Structures are given as C-alpha cells and as structure tokens.
Amino acid sequence: MRRFYTGSDLNRVHSIAELADMARRRLPYFAWEYLSGGAEAELTLKDNLAAFSAYGLHARAMVPCHAPDTSRVLLGRVLPMPMLIGPTGYNGLLYRDADIHLARAATARGLPFTLSTASNTSLEDLVTAVPGVDLWFQLYAMRDPQVQKDLLQRTAGAGCRTLVLTCDAMVLGNREWDRRNFARPRQLTWRNKFDVVRHPRWLKQVLWPSGLPGMGNLEPYLPPSERNPLGSMAFIGQQMDTFLDWDMLARLRDQWGERLLLKGVLHPADVERVIALGLDGVVVSNHGGRQLDGSLGSLDALAAIAPQAKGKLSLLLDGGIRRGSDIVKALALGVDAVLLGRSALYGVAVAGETGVGRALDVLTDELALTMNLMGCTHLNHLDRDSVFQRRRT
C-alpha cells in the first residue's frame, strides 16, 4: 500500500506533498489549519493547484541530457533558479525563529528572501542573523503615515532594495475553518487545547519558555505593556490602511526610490495602471486562496496578464507551486520567477533551515529533471508552445 515516509530522515523526502504530510503530523491542528487553510469554501485554494494540473508539457525528441541551465535574470540579478521565498506572516507559530531559518536556506542557495511586515523577526535582527541575505520586504500599507515612513526608513537601513506592497489584504478574508479553532478571539477551544498538549515537540520548540512570539517589525510602535502577540495582532488590525488606492501607490513610488512591486494583481487592467506609475514589477497572486474565495487561480489569471506585462515589467507569480514542473509551466506562460509560500513553510515546520533547504532542493531537482525530459536546455527556451491545455475535470 502506498504511503509517505513517516521517519525523520529528510533525504527520504521526495516531494513537497511528503513534506506537507510531515508538517501536518508535527503541528497541532490549529497551527496546521493556519498554514494550510483558505477562505470560505476554499474554491480559490483548490483552483491554484488545479490550474497547474490543467496544463501538460510538450517534450522535444533527440536532445542530449546535459545539465540544463536553470538560471534566470530577475530585476538585474542572475538567480541560479527562477524562484524566491515569498512573504508569509507569523511563521514563529510553525518553528522558533522560522523567518531566520527561511532566510538562511534561501541565502545558502543564492535566492532572495522576502520578509513580511507581520514577521516575528524584525528587519534588523534578520540581517544580523543572516549575513549576505538578498532581502526583499513586503509592506502592508499603514494608516499612520509616520509608522509607514519609519518602516520604509528601517527597510532601507537594513540594506533592502526591493519593496513589495501587498494590495489584496486591506481587510481579512473569511477564513472560517481557521476561526472554528477558537472559542473567542485568540482563545483556543478546549478540544484544540488538548490537541496542543498532544504535541510536546511543538510545545518545547515553539512555546517554551516564553510563549508565542510577537511581531518584531511592529514592536517599536507598541507601548511597552503591549509588546506581546496580542498587542501586535491588535495593532496591525487597527493600522491596516483599508483606503489603499492608486493615489497612495503613486505616493509610495515617490517615497521609495528603489525597486517596487505590487503583489495581489489578477486583472490585466491593473497591470496597465502599474506600468503607468513606473513600478518595476507585479506579483500575480490571490494571497494563497486566503482572501477572496472564488477569485481566479493564479495561473488562470496569468494568461491575460502576461501579454500586458511583457517587456514592461518583471512578472512574478505565487500560489499552487508544488512541483518543479509547476515552475516550468509558469515560466512557459510568461513569468520571470515564482514566489514560494506554503512549499517553503512545510519545510520550516518540519525541521527549520534543514527542512526549507530540502523543499528548495526538491523543487530544484524536479525543475532540472523536467527540463531534461522535455528536451529543454535553457529556461529562456520555454514559451507558450512548451505547454498545452488539458480539459479540466
């Protein structure tokens, strides 16, 4: 009978799905739900995966299988693989100092790492802990202009030259399965409390001795008595700018003189406005299916966006990347690189930096193998003719 490996030797992990299964067993249920769940009926969460399954790959015959060239130029820098770790919040729920572990694994492989506004590790602590990190910073627009100005100054001071503004989370999506784990806001049900006790390794690794971590980037703006998880969560809920609009984005373009990308784009008309404002790129994203349920899967949205962006913007995508072949399909349809979310988080939840490294290495190996099997010697040879559309069931 088929089953995934259940031991601890990561060399015996052969897929992201296998890492996800290990993470599910290691984490208490409420933490697993936070990591893996989506909004409402999770239609968009499922569509992110189904969109990749809807495409097949064209293979060319009689091409020698030398090691393929997997490098890609992104925003003026040559990456060894066309991927980077995207922004994800409150990763300390999965593993102590998870942001640092994610950044170390990415840096060891020459890949950028994106730190979230809602990270547990601050910008300053991250760059101290991970020398040489190619740091990107994801910004949530803040109501208080002084808080946002200070965040931008700290971002520049940390050596970050790439800012990613998230535009699809001004209000939180209806993550009802996540909420069902709580009897009241931030108070687990008794069933979930008992389940936490059944995960002593997680308790020791995450909670002991100080409890859940706060949000490092936000702590400077909190009163001393509120520098804790509850205070940080309340603060970001109050500070999220629900009136974010194109005028604000234009002001941010004036304030931030380095590379600026907009994350959360799904409509080609929005790409035209981004180009007009002089941004450097967009990330095609539906927030991992955690916001508007029923919105397009990321790869489905890409078909209309790629022609608009070609030659004018760097084009990235996240959502649903679980295989090296998924990366090939995204590149064939027009993206320059992909951002990894859950795929990297499954790894960090299992074994910190080592687990993230395994996730990145699995995807890298699958990417190279897929290219060999397709008869593709360089990523630049991928185009729309490299894929075909299946009938989706």
Mean pLDDT (whole number) for 3-16: 96
Q: Residue 166, annotated ligand binder?
A: yes
β partners of residue 182? 188
Coil vs helix vs strand at 240: strand
Catalytic residue among 66, 287, 378, 381: 287
pLDDT digits (tens, 9 = 90+) for 20-77: 999 999 999 999 999 999 999 999 999 999 999 999 999 999 999 999 999 999 999 9
pLDDT at 228: 79
Q: Residue 312, annotated ligand binder?
A: no
Mean pLDDT (whole number) for 159-181: 96
267 is catalytic: no
Q: Residue 189, annotated ligand binder?
A: no
Q: Residue 138, annotated ligand binder?
A: yes
* Residues ≥6 apart with Cβ < 8 Å to 185: none
pLDDT at 223: 85
Looking at the chain, the whole-number percentage of residues with pLDDT higher than 90 is 91
Question: Is the pLDDT at 393 greater than 70, yes or no?
Answer: no
Strands 314-317 and 72-74: unpaired
Least confident interval from 188-202, 226-240, 309-323: 226-240
Question: Is the pLDDT at 232 greater than 90, yes or no?
Answer: no
Q: Residue 29, annotated ligand binder?
A: no
pLDDT digits (tens, 9 = 90+) for 347-386: 999 999 999 999 999 999 999 999 999 999 999 999 999 9
More confident residue, 1 or 371: 371
pLDDT at 226: 81
Q: Residue 34, annotated ligand binder?
A: yes
Distance CA 259, CA 135 (A): 12
Mean pLDDT (whole number) for 189-212: 94
Token pair belonging to 175:
């993550």
Q: Residue 322, annotated ligand binder?
A: yes
Question: Is the pLDDT at 340 greater than 80, yes or no?
Answer: yes
Distance CA 161, CA 138 (A): 11
> Chain-wide mean pLDDT for the chain?
96
**How many CA within 13 A on the CB side of residue 333?**
27
Q: Which long-range contacts (CB under 8 A, 24 or more apart) does 45-48 make?
A: 45/288, 45/289, 45/290, 45/293, 46/289, 47/289, 47/296, 47/297, 47/300, 48/286, 48/288, 48/289, 48/297, 48/298, 48/299, 48/319, 48/320
Residue pair 330/321 in contact by the 8 Å Cβ criterion: yes
Q: Residue 263, annotated ligand binder?
A: yes
Q: Residue 6, annotated ligand binder?
A: no
Q: Residue 140, annotated ligand binder?
A: yes
Residue pair 315/338 in contact by the 8 Å Cβ criterion: no
Mean pLDDT (whole number) for 83-112: 98
Please identify which residue in the block is written with the tokens 């349809």: 333
- Helices 342-374 and 324-332: angle between axes, nearest 10 degrees: 70
Coil vs helix vs strand at 388: strand
pLDDT digits (tens, 9 = 90+) for 297-329: 999 999 999 999 999 999 999 999 999 999 999
Q: Residue 264, annotated ligand binder?
A: no
Q: Residue 204, annotated ligand binder?
A: no
Task: Please identify, in words, the CATH class of the domain defined by 10-176+236-382.
Answer: alpha beta
Q: Which long-range contacts (CB under 8 A, 24 or more apart) does 388-391 make?
A: 388/55, 388/56, 388/57, 388/58, 389/54, 389/55, 389/56, 390/53, 390/54, 390/55, 390/56
Mean pLDDT (whole number) for 240-257: 96
List helix spans (H) across the chain.
16-26, 29-36, 43-53, 98-108, 123-129, 145-157, 176-179, 190-197, 200-202, 229-239, 246-255, 268-276, 298-309, 324-332, 342-374
* Residues ≥6 apart with Cβ < 8 Å to 95: 101, 205, 206, 348, 349, 352
The maximal CA–CA distance of the chain, rounded, in angstroms, is 68
Q: What is the pTM assigned to this prediction?
A: 0.97
Question: Is the pLDDT at 392 greater than 80, yes or no?
Answer: no
